[in-house]
Amino acid sequence: MPKIKPSKGAPYARILGVGGYRPTRVVPNEVILETIDSSDEWIRSRSGIETRHWANDEETVAAMSIEAAGKAIADAGITAEQVGAVVVSTVSHFKQTPAVATEIADKLGTAKAAAFDISAGCAGFGYGLTLAKGMVVEGSAEYVLVIGVERLSDLTDLEDRATAFLFGDGAGAVVVGPANEPGIGPTVWGSEGDKSETIKQTVPWTDYRDGDVARFPAITQEGQAVFRWAVFEMAKVAKEALDAAGITAADLDVFIPHQANERIIDSMVKTLKLPESVTVARDVRTTGNTSAASIPLAMERLLATGEAKSGDTALVIGFGAGLVYAATVVTLP
């Protein structure tokens, strides 16, 4: 029996470039208060959110992704033709098939890159990053484009007091490529499907199609249950990711958690005992919860503002519907 030749990839992988796109329309809390009985003070105190971005008709999932991806490719110093795979994490692309990744790969001008979508909610960027690392090291692609993108305004029930203020739209992208030393640590990831009812779509698409319900499906959640899970369980996962990377909280320069809620972020910072020197992403204040897009968008903003710099060591962790999670330590591009 002939032996299969081993794959020849890079010794390690790292993030080489990052890009983001936020829709032009900025939506303050006052707009949300037109449809729910609440207050600006309540929304800020419960979530930290002051504004969010909502997409217009032209700012589609594909269009926002292409804008963010173009910036990431330029930041990485490569061309679109060098991208060997495009991985898109989203829950708000409403065509079951084909994958939006194929449209993005084509319009960017890649040389017939492999392209596929994944659905892992707010942990989607971490899942995509892990897949990209594997491709680069295994050798199936030299450069991989990972995109987190959402138009959650399409899935928001503006009359749901528990969620109407949470969600925003946007796209974040990174290019993962070869490195001579580790730039993406081991991923600690998993799922807790027994808690799947805590964050979910209200009804299946078929119920709406068949006329069983009059309202378009939306995302809903059990706020307190999600908060407790995120605060207590995700801090443990974050610690596991630090241990897997062989570092401690004192070695970190930056902490980039999923931008779900500032109270969750504050609790994680406290539980992890992060030093005051660690820069903490708080993009949620002006961007809201953009699910799979939140980590790369926050990363892009920290680098753009100078709050973080190239070469910094960052802990990233995403968590959400499923319930699913993924955490890893990375070197910033």
Positions marked active-site: 122, 258, 289
- Residues sharing a CB contact under 8 Å with residue 21, sequence separation 6 or more, in sequence order: 64, 65, 67, 68, 71, 170, 171, 172
CA distance 283 to 2: 54
Cα-based distances in Å from 325 to 3, 169, 283: 37, 21, 19
For residue 73, give the nearest of 118, 108, 23 by alpha carbon. 108
> How far does the chain reach from its first CA to its final CA, in angstroms?
44
Give strand ranges (E) for 119-180. 143-151, 169-179
- Residues sharing a CB contact under 8 Å with residue 275, sequence separation 6 or more, in sequence order: 249, 250, 252
> Taking the CA atoms of the chain, what radius of gyration do you get in angstroms?
19
Residue 324 tokens read as 């699913």
Q: How distant is the alpha carbon of residue 53 from its chain centre? A: 16
Task: With H, G, I as helix, E, B as strand and everything else as coil, classify residue 145.
Answer: strand
Q: What are phi and psi of 295, to 5 degrees?
A: -70, -50
Cα-based distances in Å from 222 to 91, 160, 170, 269: 19, 12, 24, 23
For residue 188, give the nearest of 141, 131, 130 by alpha carbon. 130
The amino acid at residue 282 is: R
Judged by phi (left if over 0) then psi (alpha if -120 to 50, else beta), residue 291 lies in: left
